[in-house]
Amino acid sequence: MMTDQEFENLWQRAEASPHADGLMEEYPSWQRNRRNRLWVTASLVVATAVALPLLTHPRFPSSDDAYIAAYCNRSDIADQYWVNMADELLRDV
Amino acid sequence: MKRQLFVLLLLPLLFLTGCFRQSSPSESDLYRHYAEQQDLKVAQLSGFKLCDTVRVDVVMLQADNQQAWLRLTEEFDIRAEEGTVSWLGQIDNPAQRTQWSGAPVMRVIASPGRRTVGFYRIDTEVQYDALIDYQLENTKNNN
């Protein structure tokens, strides 16, 4: 009986063969481990794909935020200055 | 098999990345048009909150000096003697006055005292109503 590692090496050589599927069925423990590894990889990729935008992007603002994004051509002016200005202009009318 | 799976896993990642890039706020044409002018402070607030459920995009131009303000008053046909004025302007040309018809417009507010012009982009009737409600609410609070 081969170990999983030995079978892994054999599998790398035999993967291209048309008989590979039959060979894999002879070693269910290796097949199970391989499937588990693939699931872990898949889960990590999907979790990263979902979590990254959620964690880093400002398009998911809290309902308390006064604005989602601010741009200004002067770096020395705080965003809050413009929030106040947008509010005051509406009050002025 | 591994390569196919990798490609399959990559697809949702690319899809999500594409989605969040498309919908991310970006600098408007109006902001970009004025941002390079040296004597104007130019700002854009994307998603300025009017109430819990309604937000609008706002661009503001603030003149650094009287000369820059006079240029703005000529460009937008603002009469300083009238004090703070407001009108609905066309999206592509906010100086051009228009009326609310349900199509996207700019609510423009010009304040000579602050040497500032604000452009509130209205795309929907909900935003139009919320902007009026915001003013009414604040007027009540001020009194």
As for the ipTM of the complex, it is: 0.82
When divided into structural domains, chain B yields a total of 1
Query: For A21-77, how does the pLDDT look when each residue is reduced to its tens digit (9 = 90+)?
Result: 777 777 778 778 888 988 999 999 889 888 887 777 655 566 778 999 999 999 999
Q: Is the pLDDT at B48 greater than 60, yes or no?
A: yes
- Report pTM: 0.68
**Residue A68, phi then psi, degrees to nearest 5:** -95, -45
B13-31 confidence digits (pLDDT tens): 666 666 555 556 789 999 9
Q: For residue B109, which residues of chain A lie inside 8 Å, CB to CB?
A: 89-90, 92-93
Test the B interface: residue of A17, A23, A31, A82 with most B CBs within 10 Å: A82
The whole domain housing B78 covers 25-142
Closest CA of chain B from A71, distance in Å: 5
A4 and A39 co-located in one domain: yes
Average pLDDT over residues B30-47: 96
- Domain contains B15: no
Between A18 and A85, the more confident residue is A85
Question: How close B120 gets to chain A, by Cα (Å)?
Answer: 9
Distances (CA, A) of B93 to A37, B56, B71, B96, B97: 58, 18, 16, 6, 9
Q: Is B78 inside a domain boundary?
A: yes
Do A66 and A53 share a structural domain? no
Q: What value does the mean pLDDT of chain B take? A: 88
What region, left, alpha or beta, does residue B77 occupy, with left being phi > 0 and alpha being psi -120 to 50 degrees? left
- Please indicate whether, in this complex, the C-beta atoms of B46 and A87 are within 8 angstroms of each other: no
Range of the domain at A86: 61-93
Give the mean model confidence (pLDDT) for residues A64-92: 94
- Please say if the pLDDT value at position B137 is more than 70: yes
Domain shared by A41 and A74, yes or no: no
Which residue spans within chain A are E strands per DSSP?
Answer: 69-72
User: How many independent structural domains does chain A possess?
Assistant: 2
Dist. CA A83–CA B43, nearest whole Å = 10
| Contacts A–B by Cβ distance under 8 A | 125
Q: Using CA of residue B103, residue B29, residue B51, residue A51, what is the dihedral sign? A: positive
Interchain contact A45–B (C-beta under 8 A): yes
If asked whether residues A46 and A74 sit together in one domain, one would say no
Task: Decide: residue A65, CB within 10 A, 0-12 exposed, 13-18 middle, 19+ buried.
Answer: middle
Considering the domain architecture, whether residues A11 and A41 belong to the same structural domain is answered as yes
